[in-house]
Amino acid sequence: MAGRRCIRPPNPRRRLTRSREDPPYRAWLEVDLAALSRNARRMARHVAPARFVPMVKADAYGLGAIEVARALDPLGPYAFGVATPPEGAELRRGGIERRIIVFAPSAAAEIPQLLEARLESAALSLASFGKLEAGARAATARIPVHLEIDTGMGRAGLPAADAATWAPEVASVLSRGGVTLASVYTHFHSAGADPAATSLQLTRLREAASVLMEAGVEIPFLHAANSDAAMGDPQYHLGLVRPGIYLYGGRRGAGAAGAPADPESVARVRARVLEVRDLAPGSTVSYGATYTTKRAERLATLGIGYADGLPWRLSNRGQALIGGVRVPIRGGVCMDVTSVDVSGAPGVEAADVATLLGRDGGEEVALADFAKAAGTIEYEVLTAIGRRLPRHYVGGPGAAADGSR
């Protein structure tokens, strides 16, 4: 009968892809802290003598900011980079004592949190620079500030071309005592894709910094490099670099000659097989019946869906690994479950483990390939992984057998 259901209970004598380290969840995000640390060491060696500032904003790109920062702290980063004061305050509560830089604009109401958590702040305009200074001075405190220069990104920062106009104003604000200048920096808009534009942005940064110094302002550090720029020409390293996606296993093949080796995979998204069923030819699968079996097929239902961060766009185009065998997604990705065709992976049973992102045996669903199939970028893939998935930490100090939160 078309669509006949055949549920196969688990066989306790075998688990195709289950190990003693697998946590008891329907789905989870596994984070390899040892691989993370090795990626960071490669980057730190490559950019030396420049210091590195690991970007742990957005909960360390979804991998867990406190755990990631704790794993990287022994490597001696200059600071950690976050986007908002609450992110920085969370690191402080997690025991991180190193410098923390807030790179997104802070509202006036967030200045007390900056001070309480001993955070450093970016200033993206003369107005924000003055606001930070006034707020700190009112609290009889002082905030280290990192001044952003707009060299072509177009979204924020003091315009490099107008440095002669704003440099004296910056010097005046510094003289009032509420802020100190910790660095001057810019954002590259196409590092790794447009060398000419990146070189031009660097020139603009240097020229603006020269004007600022002529106004009597001392600049402790210049910085501009994200992961792509850090893996490129050493001229972009300056005093600090701000790697993000490279640390977490992204941007493979993006480095220039002499760049560090491609990063190791850090994240694995895994889900259990909830049940296995046999479908006759002509059976439809999932909402909208967007897939119809052309032959007898065996489908496994995985305990993961778009509410967990598995993109809906992977419907009928994504894949998973079970026992090192690639199995295609069939039908639409649902909110809580997803079906895969295991006809070519004999022996799959309920409670086996599928890998949606990362390595399983000799095969891998690489971050870049996952992003391409989903029609997005590596950054979004990681940051979109839902909080419903427990984070399971392996390979690092403090990563317990469960190691999850």
- Residue ranges and CATH numbers for the domains of the chain are 34-241 (3.20.20.10), 266-394 (2.40.37.10)
With CA atoms as reference, report the closest residue to 224 among 261, 192, 256.
Answer: 192
State pLDDT tens for residues 325-378: 999 999 999 999 999 999 999 899 999 999 999 999 899 999 999 999 999 999
Q: Can you list the positions of beta strands (E) in 242-396? A: 267-279, 284-285, 291-292, 297-302, 319-322, 325-330, 338-341, 353-360, 363-365, 391-394
Return the pLDDT at 21: 67
> Is 236 annotated in the active site?
no
pLDDT in tens, 274-294: 999 999 999 999 999 999 999
Decide if 287 is catalytic: yes
Q: pLDDT at position 255, please?
A: 58
Return the residue matching tokens 């289950």: 18
> What digits encode the pLDDT tens for the residues 222-277?
999 999 999 988 999 999 999 999 999 997 765 555 667 789 999 999 999 999 99
Separation of alpha carbons 233 and 192, rounded Å = 10
- At 18-32, the pLDDT tens digits run 444 688 899 999 999
pLDDT at 119: 98
User: At how many degrees (to 10) do helices 65-72 and 85-93 cross?
Assistant: 60
| Residue 105: pLDDT band with limits 50, 70, 90 | confident
Separation between Cα atoms, residue 71 and residue 399, nearest integer Å: 10
Among candidate residues 57, 61, 236, 246, the one labeled active-site is 57
- Closest to 238 (Cα-Cα) out of 191, 275, 283: 191
Decide which of 5 and 137 is more confident.
Answer: 137
Burial class (CB in 10 A: 0-12, 13-18, 19+), 44: buried
Average pLDDT, the chain: 92
pLDDT tops 50 at residue 202: yes
Residue 9, pLDDT above cutoff 60: no
How would you classify the pairing of strands 222-225 and 179-185?
Answer: parallel
pLDDT of residue 403: 44
Element housing 128 (H / E): helix 126-138
- pLDDT cut 90: percent of the chain above it: 86
> Of these residues, 61, 246, 287, 306, which one is catalytic?
287
Quickly count: other Cβ atoms within 10 Å of residue 185's Cβ. 26
Q: Which residues contact 43 (CB under 8 A, 6 or more apart)?
A: 52, 227, 230, 241, 243, 246, 247, 260
SS (H, E, C) 305-335: CHHHCCCHHHCCCCEEEECCEEEEEECCCCC
Taking Cα atoms as reference points, which of 268, 236, 219, 226 lies closest to residue 382? 268
The proportion of the chain whose per-residue pLDDT surpasses 70, expressed as a percent, equals 91
pLDDT tens for each residue of 108-142: 899 999 999 999 999 999 999 999 999 999 999 99
- On the question of pLDDT at 309 being above 80, the answer is yes
Whether the per-residue pLDDT at 65 is higher than 60: the answer is yes
Poorest-pLDDT segment among 208-217, 257-266, 354-363, 386-395: 257-266
Q: How many CB atoms lie within 10 A of CB 176?
A: 12
Q: What is the pLDDT of residue 3?
A: 46
Give the bridge partners for 340, in sequence order.
Answer: 300, 329
Q: What is the pLDDT of residue 404?
A: 46
Q: What is the pLDDT of residue 8?
A: 47
> What is the reported pLDDT for 261?
78
